[in-house]
Structure 1
């Protein structure tokens, strides 16, 4: 609740109390009096105007409103005393934060009022105090939540800026790494291959000059050139082999990146574990594991209300297994939707199967026969 909304509620309370007093005045048989009209105009003017001015002038205007009520209470109509508690509360709210001090000020007139007005004043004072106190407490809570929201928005903005800075740093680091790798590769090619090719070329140039005069020496030089060239080609093959990452590193690294990206955008912790010789897993099977894993994570986010997900890849003697399990609600009777059917179809293309279990959380296990994996490697 904003401050101006709080003021509207206070004005509404005053209007209702004023209507009560005015209606009671006319129901008592009193004639229409210019003094009552004057009182209403003065009271309304004062109580609206002090919502538009500063704090110190507001104190003066509230005090004037209370004085007007006291004067017209004695001179015109005693029941106007029921309008005093709201003004007293507003005056106390400007001076004190403690609700008990405000209550003491609101109920002070009970000491000096005659007995016939004690009940009316006490009832309106109690109702007004409870109503206005609840409004102030509610406003304080809303203000606190608003401040917390602003603080969190500021924190999110700072985190976003830091994330952007980190991403830029990572891009620069990646670019620098690529430049360093290119420089290293260039140097390695120069050191390992350039010398061999230069040596072979020198041998062939010498053989060319001796071709007519010394056939035996020419044959020897050519054989040396062939030997040096073979060594150079072997070094090229080794350099390229060392540059190429292993298959399991590509598949596992990609799955780690996918799980990290998912955890970064969703309130779920994901643990990726593995055991066995991952080199037996072909690229096509890594692809199936990745797609089934992402489908399982999406379903977990939508339905499971889980906080932890475990992805376990295990290479067995005859099977390769990828199990995605969570600690969510689970499902006693699993109804296969498009997601599960899609996972089953992907696994079936290579002779695999998908097992779904909804007891004790939810788990999706993709099983691929190892024989099929060997055939895929052979075909590749």
Structure 2
């Protein structure tokens, strides 16, 4: 984690470069380039690199390498000279980053104690300045550690959110696919049922009527009394067939409205929807109420149903608010979700159906939406229509 931090790597190599420059500018009295001295300097570099790039997750090895590097730094300063606090820069920085606060403070105290007790040829002022510099280097290390930790936690949280978003997206796609499948199956079943009903009832009725009309045409000149009687029979039969057709149309009414009336049907629809989708739906109805006729109930039911379906299917909403207010001359309906919304409202088949239903009861409807601000539908239905 820390070995990939470019800022930390830059500090490490800059400190090494400054050590070399300080040796060149301020060589010690014992300065001597030998194979042994160079080997010690190389070991000093290797120990620091191993700790930072390979042992950073092993506290025991970190402590061991810090102590070893500290003793080597003492020896190097004695051999080469230079600015002595530079030898301890990476030691203090690594201890504050790679170790817990208790151990890093211990390392800092050890280093500063050594600086305070050693180098008798240096002034107390120089020693104090060195300790102050190392103190701020330690503070810098702690700050970097906290920043890296925050970024790591933020990245983990982002990864979790991304996984959750992918899971939610997949679940939504499956739900949409399932919804489409159910819708197609339901439509096919309804079409088949209507086809059978039309074939068995309406088709049979029209066939019988055509047959009798043909018989009347033949009898109207030769036997007008019999033709008149058949005409009356056809009239009665047509009335019965019309009544049967009306009953069939009534079957298209939502099943819930057969059991519940008016707003009770809407409440039952909302309860079932919340159970199936786990979406939070808030239904609020004004205290003042009056009865709606059958057409108004059906329209209101279908509008709420279509809006909730679109909120989940297209808006990916998690909250839907439904407000129904009974004013003196009209019923005011406000439907709003917290979905993704859209910049331009495309009136699909469903929305066109909503507008047609509201218009059929002489009502008015308005649609509002903005990107990432949800979708809102406002409709009014006149009282007594």
TM-score by length of 1: 0.59
CA distance in 1, matches of 2:222, 2:40: 136
Q: SS at 1:177's partner residue? A: helix
Per the alignment, residue 72 of structure 1 pairs with 76
Assess if the C-alpha contact under 8 Å between 1:51 and 1:58 holds in 2.
no
Per the alignment, residue 176 of structure 1 pairs with 185
Per the alignment, residue 100 of structure 1 pairs with 102
Shift of 1:167: 0.6
**Worse-superposed segment, 145-154 or 123-132:** 123-132
Assess if the C-alpha contact under 8 Å between 1:82 and 1:124 holds in 2.
no
Q: Please show how residues 291-306 of structure 1 align to structure 2 within 5 Å.
A: 293-294=367-368, 297-298=369-370
Assess if the C-alpha contact under 8 Å between 1:85 and 1:128 holds in 2.
yes
Taking structure 1 as reference, are residues 29 and 66 closer, same or farther at Cα in structure 2, changes over 3 Å only? closer
1:314-353 deviation per Cα after TM superposition (whole angstroms, max 9, x unaligned): 4568xxxxxxxxxxxxxxxxxxxxxxxxxxxxxxxxxxxx
Taking structure 1 as reference, are residues 261 and 286 closer, same or farther at Cα in structure 2, changes over 3 Å only? farther
Q: SS at 2:181's partner residue? A: helix
Shift of 1:142: 0.3
Per the alignment, residue 264 of structure 1 pairs with 315
Taking structure 1 as reference, are residues 126 and 44 closer, same or farther at Cα in structure 2, changes over 3 Å only? same
Assess if the C-alpha contact under 8 Å between 1:62 and 1:87 holds in 2.
yes
Q: Which runs of 5+ in 1 are unaligned?
A: 318-373, 375-380
Q: Please show how residues 1-380 of structure 1 align to structure 2 within 5 Å.
A: 3-6=2-5, 8-28=6-26, 33-34=32-33, 41-48=42-49, 50-53=51-54, 59=62, 64-77=68-81, 79-87=83-91, 90=94, 94=98, 96=99, 98-113=100-115, 114=117, 116=120, 118-190=127-199, 192-193=201-202, 196-197=205-206, 220-221=229-230, 223-236=232-245, 239-240=248-249, 243=252, 249=299, 252-253=303-304, 256=307, 260=311, 264=315, 271-275=322-326, 276=330, 282=359, 289-290=365-366, 293-294=367-368, 297-298=369-370, 312-314=378-380
Assess if the C-alpha contact under 8 Å between 1:39 and 1:72 holds in 2.
yes
Shift of 1:206: 8.7
CA distance in 1, matches of 2:221, 2:378: 70
Assess if the C-alpha contact under 8 Å between 1:107 and 1:122 holds in 2.
no
CA distance in 2, matches of 1:48, 1:280: 76
Per the alignment, residue 336 of structure 1 pairs with none
**Worse-superposed segment, 261-270 or 111-120:** 261-270
Q: CA RMSD in A?
A: 4.9
Per the alignment, residue 350 of structure 2 pairs with none
Assess if the C-alpha contact under 8 Å between 2:363 and 2:379 holds in 1.
no
CA distance in 1, matches of 2:357, 2:3: 70
Shift of 1:181: 1.6
Shift of 1:311: 5.9
Assess if the C-alpha contact under 8 Å between 1:201 and 1:225 holds in 2.
no
Shift of 1:11: 3.2
Q: SS at 1:264's partner residue? A: coil
Taking structure 1 as reference, are residues 209 and 196 closer, same or farther at Cα in structure 2, changes over 3 Å only? same
Shift of 1:273: 3.7
CA distance in 1, matches of 2:377, 2:81: 81
Q: Which runs of 5+ in 2 are unaligned?
A: 255-294, 333-355
**Worse-superposed segment, 12-21 or 244-253:** 244-253
**Worse-superposed segment, 9-18 or 126-135:** 9-18
Assess if the C-alpha contact under 8 Å between 2:96 and 2:104 holds in 1.
yes
Per the alignment, residue 341 of structure 1 pairs with none
TM-score by length of 2: 0.58
Paired residues, number = 303
Taking structure 1 as reference, are residues 12 and 284 closer, same or farther at Cα in structure 2, changes over 3 Å only? farther
Shift of 1:182: 2.0
